[in-house]
Amino acid sequence: MPTIIDLSKPIRYNASDPWFMKVKIKHKPHSKAKWLIRLLGLPFKLFPAGFVGWADDTIQKMGVHSTTHVDAPWHYSPTVNGQKAKTIDEIPLDWCYGNGVVIDMSHKADFDPITVTDLTAALKATNTPLQSGIIVLIKTGRDKYNGTKDFHEKGTGMSPEATTWLIEQGIKMMGIDQWGWDLPLPYMIKEAKRTNNADYFWSAHLVGQNAEYCHMEQLVNLDALPPSGFKVCVFPLKIEGASAAPARVVAILND
């Protein structure tokens, strides 16, 4: 039997999340539904034995980027090479399933970008070749900060050159286990202002202006995976016209 490893964080309310990540879910107990069923016309005496109603839940607030999710090309830019960028419901499903590779970047310091040299050295150290169509997972170890108030302020991040290099190897789906694909957002803002450099901010995401790809953010449990020899299932929710969608990302290892 294969071993299935969950690479997705739970969708739940967390008081420590910043406002732009807050999730609010209302859980309705079984007893609430019995009054609805009665209102619909079924007398209590005709309820099946042991039936007390059905549980129900409502997601009252959740951004598509709030939890483990897939970013569509539309998120990075309205166009890719002058053509309309794909929204999340338009990405090909064959991007969302395939052989997986983990590239260990957990040694990288906060705010130190991941380079092409970093990627090639790590792949050489584990004798892991890249092939077109595989799914690449970048392990930073920053998933340990998931649920903390400064999760979005910590981490390394992919450089635009490293992102471009992966796309050039035929990689359409890639992911990372920290808050975002780039260096932390507050750090990028600060450095763009300090250096007066208009090309600094969000530079890895903006590779998507010229090259079509997707990436996952806020993955977890990548340390449970080997460098290669497993499958990855991504499959985001099919939200029409959306820039991203939550996904239940799993790895499948054959015994």
Q: What are phi and psi for residue 114, nearest 5 degrees?
A: -80, 125
Domain spans of the chain?
24-61, 69-253
Q: What is the mean pLDDT of residues 153-160?
A: 98
Measure the CA angle with vertex 16, ends 10 and 17; round to 5°. 60
pLDDT level of residue 255 (50, 70, 90 thresholds): confident
Q: What are phi and psi for residue 74, nearest 5 degrees?
A: -60, -30
Three-state DSSP class for residue 136: strand
Q: To the nearest 10°, the Cα dihedral for 165, 169, 173, 174?
A: -50
* The predicted structure's pLDDT at residue 109: 98
Q: What is the mean pLDDT of residues 126-154?
A: 97
pLDDT level of residue 34 (50, 70, 90 thresholds): confident
For residue range 185-238, list pLDDT tens digits in order: 999 999 999 999 999 999 999 999 999 999 999 999 999 999 999 999 999 999
For the chain, the distance separating the N- and C-terminal CA atoms, rounded to the nearest angstrom, is: 6
User: Domain 69-253: what homologous superfamily?
Assistant: Putative cyclase (3.50.30.50)
Q: Which amino acid is at 104?
A: D
* Alpha-carbon span 210 to 196, nearest angstrom: 24
pLDDT above 80 (res 47): yes
DSSP 152-221: GG----B-HHHHHHHHHTT--EEEESSS-SSS-HHHHHHHHHHHT-TTSTTTTGGGGGTS--EEEES---
pTM of the model: 0.95
Structure tokens at 51: 């039936």
* Alpha-carbon span 185 to 140, nearest angstrom: 16
Question: In the chain, what percentage of residues exceed pLDDT 70?
Answer: 100
For residue range 72-112, list pLDDT tens digits in order: 999 999 999 999 999 999 999 999 999 999 999 999 999 99
Q: What is the mean pLDDT of residues 128-148?
A: 97
Q: Do you know the residue count of the chain?
A: 255
* The predicted structure's pLDDT at residue 29: 94
Measure the CA angle with vertex 4, ends 3 and 7; round to 5°. 140
Question: In the chain, what percentage of residues exceed pLDDT 90?
Answer: 95
- In what helix (H) or strand (E) does residue 60 lie, and over which residues does it extend? strand 56-61
Report the interhelical angle of 116-125 vs 160-168 (nearest 10°): 50
Given a contact cutoff of 8 angstroms between Cβ atoms, the answer to whether 34 and 44 are in contact is yes
